[in-house]
Amino acid sequence: MTRIILASSSPFRKALLHRLQLEFDTANPDVDESSHNNESPSQLVTRLAKLKASAIGKTLNNTDALIIGSDQVAVCDNKILGKPGNLKNATQQLKAISGKTVTFHTGLCLLNTISKEYQCDEIKFFVEFRILSDVMIANYLKKEPAFNCAGSFKSEALGIALTRRMFGDDATALIGLPLIRLTQMLEHEKVNVL
């Protein structure tokens, strides 16, 4: 039986993968997530998704497994918005994206450890933010300190109140694991979700 391993410690990605009702394990890939010089957001998330899957694959000694790697960055005004980490940075991020559209780039990679085949893709999702007052930002971050989320907001929770509209091909890409594309990748490996 082929093991499925999610190369992530993210509770959000884990919760998303549970939606597919597959048995899987998780493993934390210890990789350097810094960007390279002149690397586009698309190149960055695709490289990191592959790097995460590969890092876990190297620990398995040719065990039959499918390893899922994923990475995400948010981009506004051609600048990558990282995870803010604290209240001050989150406040600055939300002020900077007020009234603007943020592109969330999510890299996805599925590694077959036996064939050594990588399936990699990048899925974009777009969030148009409302014009946010200082009071709205302060109230939001008090109720939901989204310091570990790119762009300082969680669309699956109160962060939805910050948005005017969201659009793209796969809403789960916004949360960090594009399930539509992942289902297709798994089916290519003869793992049928349905």
**Active site residue ranges:** 71
Q: Identify the three-state secondary structure at position 2.
A: coil
Q: How far apart are CA 2 and CA 23, in angstroms?
A: 10
Residue 122: name the closest of 188, 178, 81, 55 by CA. 178
Q: 93 with 151: CB under 8 angstroms?
A: yes
- The residue behind tokens 């981009």 is 75
Q: 130 with 138: CB under 8 angstroms?
A: no
Q: 80 with 103: CB under 8 angstroms?
A: no
Q: 6 with 24: CB under 8 angstroms?
A: yes
Q: How far apart are CA 74 and CA 150, in angstroms?
A: 6
